[in-house]
Chains A and B, each alone.
Chain A
Amino acid sequence: MEQLREHEPQPERRPPAGGLPTEAVADVAAVAGDAAARAAAIPAAAATVTVTVKTTGTTSTRIVATPDTTVGEVMAQACHDLRIRDPQGWALVANGEVTVDGWVLRELVEDGELTMRLVKRPEAGG
């Protein structure tokens, strides 16, 4: 909706009082059709997005959330669902990069769906 407002056309100048528009007569049906096509081309904002978070090919959780959901909130839900006992050190990787807790899903999702991998960085020592 905000995007539509930004692109709202400016009001046309009124013709001088008593005068008549001097523009060429437009085909009303063509103008209406063109406007409808342009409106249809504007993508509607999705009310929810679907995020699949997986650890392996057989263990995953499917989370439906609003686009303003943060990665931190997705992380907390995924760790709960996937029974990650010690969430410290785990990260969500999407589109080949580690995501940050404060990011929101709107910034990551393009077509209403997103797959993320919940991973840790294996280590050993002592």
Chain B
Amino acid sequence: MPIVCADARLAAAPRYGRLYIPLGTLVTVWEFLRLNGSRGREQLAFLAGRAVVDGSAQVTCCVLPVTSANGGYVALTSHTQTALILDTLEARQETFLMAIHTHPDGGGERAGPSHSTIDDHGVALTPDDGVFSAVIPHYALGSPFRFPDGSTIYERVDGAWCRLGTDEVDERIVVHGDTLRMVPAGAR
């Protein structure tokens, strides 16, 4: 009997009430996605961050991986890259929160792009529930200021990706500015 005993430590699956995404981080990711899009290729990136006290999560960084891509498929180049990303996030006390990838089209009947079977099985960095996946239409050649509108957002619950409705996206996916600049009264 080679395995003598095993003791699993499983974290309770989170449900983030809101995901706060800094606009600057979103724009950085978007440029990364768009660069491949301008060459007619899909692209995949990740947002990571930390849970905050009210049950929400705050994005604190974006992960821009080395990928291999064509017009309809994108993948990280190795398993060791995934391990390195997770080692780095763990050392920074950050956790994977959202996968963002592009599709060539805008989806059918104005419904927005949808997860494919490959997306369902492969798009996330970790197997955890509670994480999100965003599908960006038209290779992210549109404006990031329309995000999350015009994109499709999923949340993984009990191992399955559940598509969020428009109202839920508006309520739970919050893009906010990075800078709060104060100016004297009367100044423009």
User: Taking beta carbons and an 8 Å cutoff, which residues of A are in contact with B?
Assistant: 48, 55-66, 68-70, 73-74, 77, 81-86, 89, 91, 93, 96-98, 117, 119-126
Contact = CB atoms under 8 A, between A and B. Distances in A.
B170 interface: no
11 contacts: A48-B4, A56-B86, A83-B10, A93-B82, A117-B87, A121-B77, A122-B125, A124-B44, A125-B73, A125-B74, A125-B116
Interface of B: 1-11, 42, 44, 65, 72-84, 86-87, 90, 93, 95-96, 99, 101, 116-119, 121-128, 159
B3 A93 contact: no
Contacts of B79: 91, 93, 98, 119-121
A93 B7 CA distance: 20
Contact of B2 (A73, A83, A86, A121): A73
Contact of A124 (B84, B93, B101): B101
Contacts of B74: 123-125
Which 7 interchain pairs have the tightest Cβ spacing?
A126-B116, A125-B73, A69-B2, A123-B75, A58-B11, A93-B83, A81-B8
Residue of B79, B80, B121, B126 with most chain A CB atoms under a 10 A cut-off:
B79
B5 A125 contact: no
Contacts of A61: 6-9
Contact of B6 (A58, A62, A91): A62
Given A64-B6, A119-B83, A124-B42, 20 more contacts: A55-B86, A56-B90, A57-B93, A58-B11, A61-B8, A63-B3, A66-B1, A98-B79, A120-B79, A120-B82, A121-B81, A121-B122, A122-B76, A123-B44, A123-B74, A124-B75, A124-B116, A124-B122, A126-B117, A126-B119
Nearest to B84: A96
Contact of A89 (B6, B73, B86, B121): B121
A84 B163 CA distance: 22
Nearest to B117: A126
B78 A121 contact: yes
A61 B95 CA distance: 18
Given A56-B11, A61-B9, A98-B80, A122 B124 contact: yes
